[in-house]
Every structure is written in structure tokens, then in C-alpha cells.
Structure 1
Amino acid sequence: MQASDAALLGKQGPGGVKASLALSSLQLAQEHTQGIFLLLQRGVQSSAIALLRPQIEAAARGAWIWHCAPDDWCVKYAETGDDGRAFRKDSLLNGLCAVGPRFLNFQKIYNTVIKHFHDYTHGGHLQVMARVGMNGAIGYPQNNQTLFFCAVMARFTDFFAKQETASALGDDVLVRHLGEIAVKHHLFDMQNQVRE
């Protein structure tokens, strides 16, 4: 992650409400990535998993604002915080997928995170039942497959948010450079994700 973070450091957006909202949301998704990996490194597994949903929602919102939101909607949202139901899952994903096929993978990841990890965001049944088997012992009962999945989803969403940030910055060279970094660092290779 450090190489892709360094590639974005110091970049400035084009200005305006739309760009500011989009870039802020995409930056929030990237901050959640840092939180996920810091929590995983410290063994705070359930809290790391709970950040997957806010991370992917921030990335989806940032991309939707940049590619789909009308300027007048952006002004109203900035002033009132009322999204007019634009941030509902179907509105977000349908809008992004209408932009182009590159959003189809993101749609699959988004749906997977919501389906399998929504419950973790609010300390629901999955987290509670995982602890029941521990006979009341304090600990972090997530299995390695769940943690691997968390890392892969977080890493993918971070890469998506960074590429969308570069897109919002209007920097096609940076978009390609980030793609090269993802290939070099094996985006879906768990060993590299943990090492970075």
C-alpha cells in the first residue's frame, strides 16, 4: 500500500464542490483501509472486519459522485447532507455500472461485502455466535479464511478508491501507474498484503 499511497501524496484536485465531495469520500475509503490493516496487525479482528462496509460504501459514494452526480445535486448535498436516496445500494451500483464495464467487478465485491460482512458492522449475530463457541473466553475467534477474505476485500477496495481518485484528478498516467503498482505487488496475494 505504501507505493500507491506515495503516488497520490500531494496531488491536488480540480476544485469545485463535486470534486471535493468525491475526493473526500474516496480518501475516507483509503483511511478505512489503513484502519483495517492496523487493527488486523494488532489482532483486533472483528473491528477490522466491521470497517469493510464503511470502506466500500465510501469508495462507492466517491466514485458515484464523480461519475454520476449532477452538479446541482452536489451543491444540495454539500449544503444539507440530504442525498435524496442516491446512496441506496441499487442507485449507487446501477449508476456506476451504467458508466462502464470496469465497475462490474466492483459491483461483485460490493455485493459480497454487504452479503457476508454487513452483520459485523453493528456487532450482530455473526460476531456474537463466534464467541459463544469460546465458552465466554475473551479473544478473537475469526478463522483464517475470514481474515484472508477481509484483507483481500480491503485491498481491492483500496485499489479501486485510489484509481478513482486518480480519475477524479484527471491523471490518466497516474491511473496506469497505480495499475502497475497493483500488478507488481500482487493485489490479491495475502502474503504481500500482510507484509506491506
Structure 2
Amino acid sequence: MTIDGDALLEAQQRSHSWMVSCARILDGVTFSTAMRSGVAVALQHLCIEHQQGAYMLIEQNVRGSAFALYRPQFEAYARGLWYQYCASDTDVDRYMQGAEPPRIGKIASDLETVTGYPGSVVLEVKKGSWGAMCAFTHGGAVQVKARSVGDEIRQNYSDRHAAQLLDSTAVLSYLAALAIAAVADDGDLAKELYETHQQIFSHVYRRDN
């Protein structure tokens, strides 16, 4: 197996460990029955599910579709925060009646003002990665280039890029789980999520630094 292949296997193992642990920790969490809380938690739950979807697609070597899930995963996380912290009651009601949420630029700027660190993460990702996310999701040139190999058409995403995607989707899943803990106003839950995530990913963060 190549070095990149080893990195992908390790990322798959980390992602699986986190998915299992996150599901166990969040099982049975209770929170307010208010519509705002329900919307926020449902969107964060979707964010977590998208990580699971990307993992399963990578497992089946359907890599282009896995990359296409990264933008909707990020949007689910950002929208969940916005509806929890920034939206008016009217915004929440209109959303549940089918109205479109704000565009990501407004969501990011509003969140940076209201929520501090989570909002700054959304703004940073929006500034640095949004264009690539859109290209992956909407069939941009990056998707075409990744399946043009000589005179053949076949997907050709590298193991290294697949591993990076898995780690990135796991980070979003972790942030979504923390957001659910915040809605539940459960500091012990947030602490358990943090400690578990650190246990699984700490050596990755040390290596990157």
C-alpha cells in the first residue's frame, strides 16, 4: 500500500471511530421543544449525517459524490447556527413554511458578530473554501479535471485528497455536535464530545502544527 493509501486508511479509521462515538454520546439528548431549537438541532443532525454519507461514499470509491457533499454539510452547520442565534421568530416560521434561508455571505457575517468562535470558523471557511465547495457540488471544472486521465474518463481523486476530505467532514460533524450541546445547554455533553474528539484526532492536529 502507498503512503497516501496508508493515510486514507487511517482517516477512514478515525472517521469511523468518531461516527460511532458521536452517535453514542448524542443518543438521548434532550432540548427545548421550541421551533427554533428544533430547526437548529435538525440542521446540525443533517450536518452529522452528511459526514456519514461522505464516509460511506469514500468506502465505495465514489469519491466525486463524496466531495460534492462537503458544501451541503457546511451549509447545514452554518444554517443551524444562524437559525439558533441570529434569526428572528419570523425568519424561523418562514423557513419552516418553505422560504429560502439567507445566502452564505450574510450567514457568515451575522454569525461572526453574534457567536464569536463558531461564527469566525464559518467566515473563514466561506472566504477560503467556498469557491471549491461550489465547484465540487455543482459539477465545476474541478470535477471534470478529476476524471480526465489521459484519453480516459474515470474518477481520479487521490487517496491523500480523500483522506483530507474525511478529516474535514469529521471536523464539521464535531462542530455540529457541539452546537447541539449548546442548544441543549449541556456543558458536560460538550466536554465529553471535546475529550472524545481530541482522543481520536489529537495526533492529527499535532502533526499539522
Aligned pair in 2 of structure 1 residues 72, 30: CA closer, same or farther (>3 Å)? same
C-alpha displacement of 1:188: 7.5
C-alpha displacement of 1:39: 0.6
- In the other structure, the counterpart of 1:105 is 121
Q: Which moved more, 1:180-189 or 1:8-17?
A: 180-189
Indicate yes or no: 2:46 matched with 1:28. Answer: yes
- In the alignment, the residues of structure 1 paired with residue 94 and residue 23 of structure 2 have an alpha-carbon distance, to the nearest angstrom, of 31
C-alpha displacement of 1:126: 1.0
Residue by residue over 1:33-71, the C-alpha shift from the partner in whole angstroms, topping out at 9 and shown as x without a partner, is: 100011111111111000000000001000111111112
Equivalent residue letter for 2:85: H
- In the other structure, the counterpart of 1:117 is 133
Point out where structure 2 has 5 or more consecutive residues left out of the alignment.
1-17
- In the other structure, the counterpart of 1:194 is none
- In the other structure, the counterpart of 2:152 is 136
- The answer on whether the counterparts of 1:155 and 1:188 sit within 8 Å (CA) in structure 2 is no
- In the other structure, the counterpart of 1:54 is 72
Q: Which moved more, 1:62-71 or 1:178-187?
A: 178-187
Partner SS for 1:108:
helix
C-alpha displacement of 1:101: 2.8
Indicate yes or no: 2:76 matched with 1:82. Answer: no
- The answer on whether the counterparts of 1:22 and 1:62 sit within 8 Å (CA) in structure 2 is yes
Indicate yes or no: 2:85 matched with 1:70. Answer: no
- In the alignment, the residues of structure 1 paired with residue 33 and residue 102 of structure 2 have an alpha-carbon distance, to the nearest angstrom, of 23
Count the aligned residue pairs: 186
Point out where structure 1 has 5 or more consecutive residues left out of the alignment.
191-196
RMSD of aligned residue pairs (Cα, Å): 1.9
- The answer on whether the counterparts of 2:85 and 2:115 sit within 8 Å (CA) in structure 1 is no
Identity of aligned residues (%): 24
- In the alignment, the residues of structure 2 paired with residue 116 and residue 146 of structure 1 have an alpha-carbon distance, to the nearest angstrom, of 13
